[in-house]
Chain A
């Protein structure tokens, strides 16, 4: 059953309060985390999963209107403001991104917003390289991963701030590999009612980019929708909606491979992963309801600000400047 839209008078105050709440939670968690494990351990155990659930719920709400995956917010924020070791945060981050992608993929496939043919070759390379990334991440010292994470998140902030997307890119002529694999399709744009025939080009560069995206996804346990969508849309020429939908399908396979590596290494703790997954998915449902009524640009700016703060925090924490 479709969710009823929220009434307009409640939107802005609710969103404002939610965002203030998220910041308050993070600022409350920050000092305890910074004081070290001993201080964090003095709190009852259930405080942290509960705080994690609430923060993930809020992240889920803002992630959808901001047009990014919740997994992108999860690792830098939880890794910087909660007392869990980064190994477990990355394991949970992969689960958050995986659960979200798995929940959305069937709907996107049935509606034609995701293309199985387009996703398969890209996912194969990215999932193979994600295992390498996961192994690399678990072998590196945590402070090095933290520094690299900070740099990556600041890079994502830059990408979000400057990137432009193309609704339906013009692909004059598909390349030989794209033709051989029949990477084309049709989707009906419900907004305009048009049937859009699409095809892609630059398949080989696209495959190479996804190879690198897989390494980042495994290394940081971070959802890679922020990289998948521009690669599919701007590089390969897939329509924006097909790019976003197929990105979710690619993520479901990439994160599965990396999640197995973390699971086998013992780096997935249900007490961290489950409140995160459930909170994020419930929040995303609210976020989807708010999608039609909120100003996406405003939410996007708020999320860019939050990511900027979390990226700087991760960088400074890794460098030992802000432990």
Chain B
């Protein structure tokens, strides 16, 4: 039977070491993602920069199914938004990608901890979870509407 990590020192820090490490990395990633998300949106709403889709057109477009929206707006799907990062309305997607991806490094930093302890089940779980996130992020899974 494997055992959870030894509690870290400190009063509020009586949780397993790996749990605290995961929390620290997650906190950093989530804060960064939220800041990017909000700042980019404020810049967009204030009219700074050139948007891919003018804001005045949005009410006519956002009621369309996503496939028709992409066709009408010229927005890219998959990782194509990286090529459109110069547009003010696309920058917000960087913040969203940061939020959706910030769990990945948290999982990877746990692998050496579990490996040193010989907790093979949780090494496999961390790597498998990271693999699921990478598969989701890769855009390889795609179907038509």
Contact = CB atoms under 8 A, between A and B. Distances in A.
A81 interface: no
Given A83-B62, A180-B2, A138 B14 contact: no
Nearest to B121: A181
- Greatest chain B CB density within 10 A among A49, A123, A261 is at A261
A244 B99 CA distance: 21
A87 B70 CA distance: 12
Interface string A1-40: 0000000000000000000000000000000000011001
Contacts of B1: 179-180, 182
B140 to A, nearest CB: 9
Interface stretch (A64-72, A98-106, A298-306, A312-320): A98-106
A148 interface: no
Given A120-B122, A131-B135, A265-B142, A85 B93 contact: no
A120 B141 contact: no
Interface string B113-145: 000000001100110110011011101011111
B96 A85 contact: no
A88 B75 CA distance: 14
B64 interface: yes
A278 B13 CA distance: 30
A194 interface: no
Contacts of A275: 41
B64 A106 contact: no
A259 B98 CA distance: 11
Size class of the B contact interface (CB-based, 8 Å): 35 or more
A270 B121 contact: no
B48 interface: no
A268 B93 contact: yes
Q: How large is the interface on A (under 10, 10 to 19, 20 to 34, 35 or more residues)?
A: 35 or more
Contacts of A252: 26, 103
B112 interface: no
A112 interface: yes
Contacts, number: 207
B11 to A, nearest CB: 10
Contacts of B139: 260, 264
A270 B40 contact: yes
B66 A138 contact: yes
Interface in B11-36: 12-16, 18-20, 22-24, 26-27, 29-30, 33-34
A136 B29 CA distance: 29
Nearest to A136: B143
A264 B125 contact: no
B1 to A, nearest CB: 6
B77 A85 contact: no
Interface in A136-160: 138-139, 142
A237 to B, nearest CB: 18
A256 B103 contact: yes
B66 A131 contact: no
A259 B37 CA distance: 15
Contacts of A98: 99-100
B63 A85 contact: yes
A127 to B, nearest CB: 5
Interface in A193-238: none
B47 to A, nearest CB: 11
A124 B62 contact: no
Contact of B96 (A95, A103, A116, A257): A95
17 contacts: A83-B62, A87-B65, A98-B100, A102-B26, A102-B30, A109-B19, A116-B19, A120-B126, A131-B135, A182-B2, A182-B3, A266-B69, A266-B70, A266-B75, A268-B93, A273-B96, A274-B92
